[in-house]
Structure 1
Amino acid sequence: MASPAWLGIGAQRSGTTWFTDLLTQHPSVGLGTNGKKEQQLLHKVADGRVPDADYLDLFPADGVRRGDWTPQYLRHASAPAAAARLVPDAPILVLLRDPVERFRSAMRLAATRGKSWPYPVPITVQTWSGFYADQLDAWAAAVGRERMHVMVYEEIRNDPQAAVAEVWRLVGVDPVPLEQVARESASSSKADWDWTPGLKESLQVMYRLQAERLEKDWGLDVSGWTGLAAG
């Protein structure tokens, strides 16, 4: 049966476009047959809005390890159960960034694109997007913790070759040398955006507990998340 060979689920504004560009440099690793990095479909299948085949047919058994990296999946409550059913064996890839910096990057991207949400959707959705520990727990409960490959963006920037090589091994291909590692992704934020009074401090309070759980439960090194520091 057709199915993704790897599934990237998040997090938004955590370098997922950059990392996917590196991952698909391998001649045997690719995206769905429509060439999209983000299919934005698995959660729609989960919610009964589109049929299974609309998603699965994008990943034929043609010798290419095809995958999908849609950050929406990590924070969507219905997606883990759909992944357990439709993507039963593939590694689940997660890339996490300092949640305070991730929030600001998301707001900058919205400003860059001139996107307008009805108030208070952006603050509510982007706040929830940084609750990584809760989201990972939901995914692990559905697909199994052993399938989760969780990476910290600030760490892999120091050695992207090693990080990508590990994912290639997970999908069953031998590593190759990367090219143009520092190339800026097409989703980079250009516009500026500034904090409203008290918002950053509120996020720090909420996210510090999440970061502690990531260290304790997932063994992640989040010492580079300077956005969580007071002051």
Structure 2
Amino acid sequence: MLPNFLIAGAEKAGTTWLYDALVRHPDIFLPDVKEVHFFNRFDSNLREIDNFARRGLPFYETHFEDYAGQSAIGEATPMYLCDPEAPQRIRDTLPEAKIVLSLRNPVSRTYSHYRMGLAKKHFDIPLDQAIAEDDARLIQRSRYAGQVTRYFELFPREQVHVLFFEELIADPEPHLAALLRFLGVDDSLAAELAQTDKSNAAATYRSAGVYNAGVGLARALRNNPLTSGLAKTLKNAGVYDRIKGMNRKEEAYAPLSEADRAALVAAFRDDVGRLEGVLHRAVPWKDFAALPEGV
């Protein structure tokens, strides 16, 4: 069994919220692991994983073994949006699949990703340096125009559903209902499914080493056919969640400085203009509304 829809990103743009809402719909199947990482060649830190080339479709199909007749079958891996090889691999493998893209103000997406990376010890440079260096993990990943264009060049537009994080969070029910209709399932459950507090909220960790080791171990167990059953048992028993919870430390991070905000707006302004042309609509991001020339 293979999926007929994919939530393809962006990172830090509500894909966790979407997964939690959709997985509770009786006519939607999603694997118990949110991010399968099959079609992307690289992970979020640009380390090569390439399950597509190394493990092939049999590995991918194991994630859908618990399918029980639902009409919509999907998975959610944010790296499918920004990884340059993912769209063509998806087109070659799942040409009829519906594609869901969730986009977020590139300024707030970048800062959210940066703070998450600091907490996990994935980044060790100041944000202004990352901006100046046009960091591929942060700045380039927030330029959506080319990423969205790759999908529009490979899939009919009616096969691609674009959401804006800000609109979804501000008024989730109608946007979730529209998504359910796109997926071809009952949209009358939208109000109920929208009542979720699950998100990838800002946090830090008592030990980044423990966090990274836990993620690595869980992935290794899940990806090995001999231990994949054990990985599922541990997840269903809540072992991973308990370990993460004990290591997690809620912490409201400092607001983005005005200097860094201005630099990010400048870094993304041209791309946002191109994105509006690609989407044939204005974006709902105040940072880029009626900007004076030269900013």
What TM-score, normalized by structure 1, do the two folds share? 0.84
Look at both structures and tell me which one has the larger radius of gyration over its CA atoms. Answer: 2
Say if 2:94 is the partner of 1:84: no
CA distance in 2, matches of 1:197, 1:46: 41
1:221 corresponds, among 278, 282, 287, to 282
Matched to 1:171, the amino acid is: L
Structure 1 residues 42 and 18: alpha-carbon distance in aligned structure 2, compared to 1, 3 A threshold: same
Assess if the C-alpha contact under 8 Å between 1:17 and 1:187 holds in 2: yes
Structure 1 residues 198 and 48: alpha-carbon distance in aligned structure 2, compared to 1, 3 A threshold: farther
Give matches, 1:196-211, under 5 Å. Answer: 199-211=260-272
Assess if the C-alpha contact under 8 Å between 1:161 and 1:177 holds in 2: yes
Of 46-55 and 36-45, more deviation after overlay is shown by: 46-55
Deviations 1:147-166 (A, max 9, x none): 11111111222331222222
- Uncovered stretches (5+) of structure 2, i.e. residues with no partner: 42-49, 204-250
Assess if the C-alpha contact under 8 Å between 1:29 and 1:66 holds in 2: yes
- Taking every aligned residue pair, what percent have the same amino acid on both sides? 26
Assess if the C-alpha contact under 8 Å between 2:10 and 2:78 holds in 1: yes
Matched to 1:31, the amino acid is: L
Q: How far does residue 188 in structure 1 lie from its aligned partner after superposition?
A: 0.7
CA distance in 2, matches of 1:223, 1:186: 21
Q: How far does residue 221 in structure 1 lie from its aligned partner after superposition?
A: 3.3
Matched to 1:102, the amino acid is: R
Aligned to 2:122: 116
CA distance in 2, matches of 1:222, 1:19: 20
CA distance in 2, matches of 1:226, 1:11: 18
Structure 1 residues 13 and 225: alpha-carbon distance in aligned structure 2, compared to 1, 3 A threshold: farther
Aligned to 2:35: 38
Structure 1 residues 76 and 110: alpha-carbon distance in aligned structure 2, compared to 1, 3 A threshold: same
Aligned to 2:56: 51
Aligned to 1:212: 273
Matched to 1:158, the amino acid is: A
Assess if the C-alpha contact under 8 Å between 1:9 and 1:72 holds in 2: yes
Assess if the C-alpha contact under 8 Å between 1:101 and 1:227 holds in 2: no
Q: How far does residue 40 in structure 1 lie from its aligned partner after superposition?
A: 1.4
Q: How far does residue 177 in structure 1 lie from its aligned partner after superposition?
A: 4.0
CA distance in 1, matches of 2:193, 2:134: 33
Q: How far does residue 83 in structure 1 lie from its aligned partner after superposition?
A: 0.5
Give matches, 1:172-187, under 5 Å. Answer: 172-175=184-187, 176-179=189-192, 181=194, 183-187=196-200
What TM-score, normalized by structure 2, do the two folds share? 0.67
CA distance in 2, matches of 1:57, 1:71: 20
Assess if the C-alpha contact under 8 Å between 2:173 and 2:191 holds in 1: yes
Assess if the C-alpha contact under 8 Å between 2:6 and 2:98 holds in 1: yes
Assess if the C-alpha contact under 8 Å between 2:82 and 2:141 holds in 1: yes
Aligned to 1:128: 140
Q: How far does residue 62 in structure 1 lie from its aligned partner after superposition?
A: 3.7
Q: How far does residue 15 in structure 1 lie from its aligned partner after superposition?
A: 1.1
CA distance in 2, matches of 1:194, 1:94: 27
Say if 2:178 is the partner of 1:166: yes
Deviations 1:38-65 (A, max 9, x none): 1112214576232122113423564122
CA distance in 2, matches of 1:28, 1:182: 18
Q: How many residues align?
A: 227
CA distance in 1, matches of 2:199, 2:284: 28
CA RMSD in angstroms comes to: 2.8
Q: How far does residue 117 in structure 1 lie from its aligned partner after superposition?
A: 4.2
Which structure has more RCO (C-alpha within 8 Å, separation ≥ 6)? 1
Deviations 1:196-217 (A, max 9, x none): 7954333212311222122222
CA distance in 1, matches of 2:80, 2:177: 24
Larger fraction in helix: 2
